[in-house]
């Protein structure tokens, strides 16, 4: 059996239907480009399955099971694809497919933003970590923008000490650069700032709204718009690699977040197809 039809040895592995979605979205091997290069020793599906295994199980790179390629090889692909923005491009193409399936425009016009502090391991250096006094967490903050279905649009990883209102300008600028059609953005009360709202309107032509807690609220209540992004954080942390931040580079933290979302979306897209065939 070829590697392209790899037997799923682990729950995190790709199904044939998932691989059919992912394979065309991966960059061309160097040996098939005009620049040329050595043929790759390992099939791309085995590399992708190894990356999904690390993401889902949260293991050390050196603890990668022996039936995968050497961990150095897998990490090399992860680092190169992370730097080249491969995971973001795959995420965006899959999100467009899900939006089209839901009879929505592939390009969103509204977004919801929020942040989540996460404890950092000792591998995270001082320049990219900090202390969040509110949550009493020493580590980083993952800041995300999602569409109204909760699908990732932008990921930004910063030190936990950076205040939400200060980081919001970076996040909104990245969102506007990638999605010019986004005209509405919602956030929670931590982003309350007239200066921020005015800046978003004047500089980015984005209407910025804050969804505040209900007066007198003492228990959990599902709030409009906010629950969408909170659910996304739940999806992200189902992958054990994202429960804590172990990455030396913030960009690698964002890559694991994107990989968790990619797995969720490929499973969603292929599950619907499987159900359709059985009805």
The tens digit of pLDDT for each residue in 118-159 reads 999 999 999 999 999 999 999 999 999 999 999 999 999 999
Q: What is the pLDDT of residue 1?
A: 39
In terms of C-beta density within 10 A (0-12 exposed, 13-18 middle, 19 or more buried), how is residue 181 classed? exposed
Q: What is the pLDDT of residue 7?
A: 67
The tens digit of pLDDT for each residue in 256-275 reads 999 999 999 999 999 865 55
Other Cβ atoms less than 10 A from the Cβ of 100: the count is 11
Q: What mean pLDDT is predicted for residues 173-177? A: 97
Q: What mean pLDDT is predicted for residues 238-250? A: 97
pLDDT band per the 50, 70, 90 thresholds, residue 279: very low
Give CATH for domain 106-247: 3.30.420.10
User: Which DSSP string do the residues of 102-131 spell out, in sequence order?
Assistant: TT--SS-SEEEEEEEEEEB-TTS-GGG-EE
The tens digit of pLDDT for each residue in 185-215 reads 999 888 999 999 999 999 999 999 998 765 5
Q: Give the residue from 274, 246, 236, 266 showing the smallest Cα distance to 26.
A: 266
Give the H/E segment covering residue 155: strand 152-159
Residue 83 scores a pLDDT above 60? yes
Q: What is the pLDDT of residue 215?
A: 53
Distances (CA, A) of 83 to 50, 80, 89, 111, 130: 18, 5, 12, 25, 24
Q: What mean pLDDT is predicted for residues 63-71? A: 96
pLDDT band per the 50, 70, 90 thresholds, residue 224: low
Domain segments of the chain as ranges? 3-84, 106-247
- In the chain, % of residues over pLDDT 90: 81
For the chain, helix (H) and strand (E) counts, in that order, are 8, 6
Q: Which residue has the higher pLDDT, 233 or 218?
A: 233
Q: What are phi and psi of 251, to 5 degrees?
A: -65, -30
The tens digit of pLDDT for each residue in 155-171 reads 999 999 999 999 999 99
Q: What is d(CA 191, CA 209) in angstroms, rounded to the nearest whole number?
A: 9
Q: What is the pLDDT of residue 253?
A: 98
The tens digit of pLDDT for each residue in 96-122 reads 999 999 999 999 999 999 999 999 999
Give the H/E segment covering residue 254: helix 250-278
Residue 68 scores a pLDDT above 60? yes
pTM as predicted:
0.90
Residue 219 scores a pLDDT above 80? no
Average per-residue pLDDT for the chain: 90
Q: Give the residue from 81, 46, 98, 35 showing the smallest Cα distance to 261.
A: 98
Residue 220 scores a pLDDT above 70? no
Q: Give the residue from 129, 124, 149 showing the smallest Cα distance to 140.
A: 129
Q: What is the pLDDT of residue 213?
A: 62
């Amino acid at each position: 059996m070829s590697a392209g039809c790899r037997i799923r040895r682990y729950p995190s592995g790709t199904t044939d239907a998932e691989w059919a979605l992912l394979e065309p979205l991966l960059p061309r091997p160097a040996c098939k480009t005009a620049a040329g290069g050595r043929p790759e020793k390992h099939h791309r599906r085995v590399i992708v399955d190894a990356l999904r295994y690390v993401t889902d199980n949260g293991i050390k790179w050196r603890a990668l099971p022996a039936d995968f390629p050497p961990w150095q090889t897998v990490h090399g692909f992860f680092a190169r694809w992370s730097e080249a923005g491969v995971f973001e491009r795959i995420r965006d193409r899959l999100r467009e497919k899900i939006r089209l399936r839901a009879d929505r425009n592939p390009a969103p016009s509204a977004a919801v933003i929020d942040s989540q502090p996460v404890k950092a391991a000792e591998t995270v250096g001082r320049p990219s970590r900090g202390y969040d006094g509110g949550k009493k967490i020493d580590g980083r903050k993952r800041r995300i923008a999602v569409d109204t279905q909760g699908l990732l649009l932008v990921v930004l990883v910063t030190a936990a000490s950076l205040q939400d209102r200060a980081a919001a300008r970076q996040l909104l600028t990245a969102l506007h650069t990638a999605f010019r059609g986004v005209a509405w953005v919602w956030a929670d009360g931590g982003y309350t700032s007239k200066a921020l709202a005015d800046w978003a309107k004047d500089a980015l032509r984005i209407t910025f709204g804050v969804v505040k807690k209900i007066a007198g609220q003492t228990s959990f209540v599902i709030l409009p718009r906010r629950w969408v992004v909170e659910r996304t954080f739940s999806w992200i942390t189902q992958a054990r690699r994202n429960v804590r931040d172990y990455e030396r580079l913030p960009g690698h933290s964002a890559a694991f977040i994107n990989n968790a979302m990619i797995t969720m979306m490929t499973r969603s897209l292929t599950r619907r197809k499987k159900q359709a065939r059985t009805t």
